[in-house]
Amino acid sequence: MTARDVSAANVILTAGAQNGVFATSLCLLEAGDEVIVPEPMYLTYEACVRATGATLVPVPVSRSRAFHLDYDALEAAITSHTKVIFFATPCNPTGVVMGRTDLERIARLACEHDLWVLSDEVYADLTFEREHVSIAALPGMAERTVTLGSLSKSHAMAGWRVGWAIGPTTLIEHMARLALAMLYGLPGFIQQAALTALEHKAQIAAEMREIYQRCRDIVFERLHRVPGLHCLLPEDGMFMMVDVSGTGLETVDFAWQLFARKACRFSMRARSAKRRMGSCGLVSWSTRRGSLKRANGLRIS
């Protein structure tokens, strides 16, 4: 996953990547620390950071940059209290895949300022046109990076709650002691299911990627022609950011119209936090292609 050699001492099983985010936060952070996170971000990052007493420092990314990170803004956000940079690549919710050059810039900042990096790579196997690169494989980053993964998306095993964290051995030892208090280990049958999934990873992930890419193409082809909507083609996963400001509606009102009219068979998840999503909603196509193709025309009033 990280494109580098690791041993069992570098890996810990978690109850999904979400458990990995929380456990990493508890082991790395304390009151007074600051965590820099590109925004929009995955919805639980803030709660995990605040639970430790640390402060989350959002660095907004905008539609005008196709939701790619502004690295000058990221550098400007670093202070003497900064401890960790959190990010997801591929990113939920924006659908952005960070390229090698982008990650090298983050790595430079992390090394220069002696920062940890938490890299959420749950969607690593579901990139479309762009190659996934793991920041832990870059020079000087293995000893300061925690890489998170899971089978929830690549193998459609969200309900099994199985994931992992890869990091330096000393940190993994601390996380293991924390896991003893939180989990006392994952159930054996879940670990066996995960092992079977990983043994067939190449085939299963390729099939899932093909399904999601076809669904993405259907959704984008339908929605980008709707007056008042602005869509950016996602580079991974099962979500697409849609700017609904051209409709004259707030994102929540727009989503409720879809729900009330049953205008389409996929779901639109509107984030009520205006600071996070602005005029954008999040469209998911985790359904059958046939349902997407039969979706009724979308009209906004």
Note whether 135 and 29 are same-domain residues. yes
**pLDDT, tens digit, 9 for 90 and up, residues 252-296:** 788 788 777 665 544 454 444 444 556 787 788 765 555 555 554
Note whether 234 and 106 are same-domain residues. no
What is the C-alpha separation between 70 and 75, in angstroms, rounded? 9
H/E run at residue 83: strand 82-88
CB 300 within 8 A of CB 247: yes
Per-residue confidence (pLDDT) for residue 277, from 0 to 100: 57
Domain boundary among 148, 178, 199: 199
Nearest CA to 105 out of 149, 73, 83, 62 is that of 73
Residue type, 113: H
What is the C-alpha separation between 262 and 296, in angstroms, rounded? 8
Note whether 127 and 58 are same-domain residues. yes
Structurally, the chain folds into a number of domains equal to 2
Note whether 43 and 65 are same-domain residues. yes
**Phi-psi region for residue 233, left (φ > 0), alpha (ψ -120 to 50) or beta?**
beta
Query: Can you give the residue range of the structural domain that contains 240?
Result: 202-293
pTM summary value: 0.87
Please identify every stretch of the chain with a pLDDT value under 50, giving residue numbers as ranges.
265-267, 269-275, 296-301
Domain boundary among 199, 229, 254: 199
Structure tokens at 37: 């996170």
Domain boundary among 151, 168, 199: 199
Note whether 78 and 182 are same-domain residues. yes
**pLDDT, tens digit, 9 for 90 and up, residues 168-212:** 999 999 999 999 998 888 899 999 999 999 999 989 999 999 999
Per-residue confidence (pLDDT) for residue 290, from 0 to 100: 56
Note whether 136 and 208 are same-domain residues. no
Note whether 210 and 195 are same-domain residues. no
Note whether 82 and 180 are same-domain residues. yes
What is the C-alpha separation between 130 and 175, in angstroms, rounded? 32
Strand partners, 34: 55, 82
Nearest CA to 120 out of 15, 20, 53 is that of 20
What is the C-alpha separation between 60 and 70, in angstroms, rounded? 8
Note whether 224 and 109 are same-domain residues. no
Any idea what the CATH number is for the domain that residue 237 is in? 3.90.1150.10
